[in-house]
Structure formats: C-alpha cells, structure tokens
C-alpha cells in the first residue's frame, strides 16, 4: 500500500521506539520498483523508495522534464504498491537542493510523494535553516514529512558531489531541528556516497548517539538518517540503529546488484545474440527466448528483491510493518 505522510510518521516512530531501521531505496526504473516493492512485501516490512532530481529527469526521456519524470515514477509506485495491503511504501524526494524548491512544491501539491529531503547543506547554517523551514511549512500543511541535513557527506550521489567530509556538530543539529521542525534529520558521520567499504571509512557512530541524546534531552527527538549506507558492514548497521538511526539510504548497492545479475546472465547466454566462431553465418540462429528483455531484466529484478529482503532482516524491519 502507498503510505500517507501520517502513516510514514508512524513507521519511523515505531522504528525509533523498537530500534530497527527502515531501508530507503533509490529507484528510477519499473524493474527496480517491482523488485523492491515485492521485496518489502515478502519481508513484511515497510519501506521508502527515493527519487533524485536526476532520476526524474532520466525517467522523462529526451525532454528531461523533471515533473513528467516524477509523475511517472510516482504513479508506477502508487499503482504497483496498491497490490500489497500488508506492507507500506512511501516515496521520498532525495537530496533536493534549493534549486529544486519549486519542484519540491510541485510534488507535494500534486500528492506525488510521502516525504521530501531539502538538502541545503552546502549553504550556511542560517540559510539552511531558513530554506528548510520554508519547505517544512509547506510540506506539513499537506501531511508530508521533511528530511533535512547539516554537515557534508563525501562522494557522489547523482547531482550532489563533495570531495570533503564535514561531520555534523551536535549543537548545530539541535539548533537546526528546533528552528526548522524537520521530521527526519540526516547526519554526516563518515559514510560515503558511492562505492565504499565500511572497514575503510572513519565512521563516527558515537556522533549519532550524541545527536540523538541531545535531541531527546531537549524534547525534540527525531529519527536520524544515514546516507551513503551501501558499503557498511552488518555490525555498523546494528550500531547505527542502536544509536538512533531509523532511515538507511541505499543506492549504489542495488546498482551493483542489477549490473552483476545481468552480467552473469549474459556470460551464460552470450551465444543467444553472438554467433559462436565454429558456427557459420548461415547456420546461426539468435535465441529469441533468451534475448527478450524480460528474460534478462528479471534477473536484476529478482536480485534486488532478494537483497532488499536481506537488508530488512539485517536492520530488523522484517515482519514489523505497521499494516500487519
């Protein structure tokens, strides 16, 4: 089922209270959307799908009309999710910078999303607070949740690029949450966007705990968001959740899964489209039963489905849907 903002709030409140993590999965294509929504449903978990500005432009084709792309992705998710009454998925706008303010408002007013991220983390703290507050005021009128960020996450995520890592300062996090009233707070604690290995990063999960404790102490407890979570070890996931993380963002891992599963297929089935050297041109017949796109894309879809179910078991969200 496609979740309302209120329901998504319940999902995160439950996750925070019972200390499990909700996986937020970046998507562009129908193949990914099907694999992941079926995965959430099979795991008995709620979840979030995320679309970036770049994903929406891509989805629109040559026009790159971001609004068309968002409508397309949102309707695929809403229609597909309606088949599954026992697991809820929402749709989130990922890393929308202030340039995309009008786009955020468009998605909110047209009920395309359940939550949005305003990423003004490259601005000064004051400016970040001002812009985020503006988004929160509009979003909350429409029952839409808002995620905001301070600090800077290293790596590349779509149009968001940073060569440096700026760890979030707990006192700034408190000021930001109090002044903006965001629903979800993204902290920069050493994870990287893109290909990375958990063992090789300087992960400061102690900062998550410090921020969480400070917010609780000041009566503004929030779900904390971990970006760039693709390369993390199992233990890092567990510790992050224990320290206050409720939303765990994954993109790169699924991209690898999709590519790997399809590469394995074509390694096996190469001769369905490539003539073997020992067969003559006259005798070679390509195998339609193997090159029909449904035959190979399904391997990517199934792999993502399986990976997501593993993630849900790892983060403890399996069998915890608010709809069960």
Q: In angstroms, give the least distance from the CB of 250 to ligand G3H.
A: 5
**Whole-angstrom Cα distance, residue 216 to residue 211?**
9
Q: In angstroms, give the least distance from the CB of 237 to ligand G3H.
A: 12
Q: In angstroms, give the least distance from the CB of 188 to ligand G3H.
A: 11
The residue length of the chain stands at: 324
Count of alpha carbons within 13 angstroms of residue 155, beta-carbon side: 20
Q: Does 227 bind ligand G3H (CB under 6 A)?
A: yes
Say whether 94 is catalytic: yes
Pairing outcome for strands 154-157 and 223-226? unpaired
Count of alpha carbons within 13 angstroms of residue 314, beta-carbon side: 18
Q: Does 193 bind ligand G3H (CB under 6 A)?
A: yes
Catalytic residue among 13, 30, 46, 94: 94
Q: Does 252 bind ligand G3H (CB under 6 A)?
A: yes
**Whole-angstrom Cα distance, residue 132 to residue 253?**
29
Q: Does 95 bind ligand G3H (CB under 6 A)?
A: yes
Separate counts of helices (H) and strands (E) for the chain: 12, 11
**Whole-angstrom Cα distance, residue 162 to residue 177?**
23
- The footprint of Zn ion on residues 216-255 (CB under 5 A) is 227
Which residue in the set 12, 20, 26, 98 belongs to the binding site for ligand G3H (CB under 6 A)? 26
Task: Output 30 or 159, the one with its CB closest to ligand G3H.
Answer: 159
Which residue in the set 94, 183, 212, 301 belongs to the binding site for ligand G3H (CB under 6 A)? 94
SS3 (DSSP) at 155: strand
Which residues contact ligand G3H by CB under 6 A?
26, 94-95, 157, 193-194, 227-230, 249-253
Interacting residue ranges for Zn ion, rule: CB under 5 A: 157, 227
């Amino acid at each position: 089922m496609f979740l309302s903002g209120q329901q998504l709030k319940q999902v995160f409140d439950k996750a925070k209270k019972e200390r499990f993590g909700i996986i937020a999965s970046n998507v562009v294509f129908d193949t990914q959307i099907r694999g992941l929504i079926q995965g959430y449903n099979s795991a008995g978990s709620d979840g979030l799908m995320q679309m970036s500005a770049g994903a929406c432009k891509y989805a629109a084709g040559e026009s790159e009309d971001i609004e068309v792309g968002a409508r397309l992705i949102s309707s695929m998710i809403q229609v597909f999710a309606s088949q599954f009454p026992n697991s809820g998925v929402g749709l989130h706008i990922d890393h929308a910078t202030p340039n995309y303010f009008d786009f955020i408002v468009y998605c909110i007013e047209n009920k395309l999303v359940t939550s949005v991220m305003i990423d003004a983390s490259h601005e000064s703290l004051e400016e970040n607070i001002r812009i985020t507050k503006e988004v929160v005021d509009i979003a909350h009128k429409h029952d839409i949740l808002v995620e905001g960020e301070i600090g800077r996450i290293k790596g590349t995520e779509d149009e968001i690029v940073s060569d440096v890592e700026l760890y979030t300062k707990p006192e700034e996090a408190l000021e930001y949450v109090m002044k903006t009233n965001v629903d979800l707070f993204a902290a920069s604690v050493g994870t990287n966007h893109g290909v990375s290995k958990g063992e090789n990063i300087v992960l400061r999960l102690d900062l998550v705990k410090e921020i969480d404790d400070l917010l609780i102490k000041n009566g503004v407890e929030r779900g904390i968001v971990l970006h760039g979570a693709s390369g993390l070890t199992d233990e890092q996931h567990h510790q992050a959740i224990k320290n206050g993380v409720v939303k765990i963002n994954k993109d790169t891992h699924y991209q690898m899964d999709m590519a790997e599963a399809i590469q394995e297929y074509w390694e096996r089935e190469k001769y369905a489209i490539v003539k073997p050297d020992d067969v003559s041109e006259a005798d070679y017949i390509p195998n339609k039963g193997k090159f029909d796109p449904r035959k190979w894309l399904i391997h990517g879809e199934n792999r993502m489905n399986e990976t997501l179910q593993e993630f849900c078991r790892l983060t403890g969200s399996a069998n915890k849907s608010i709809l069960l």
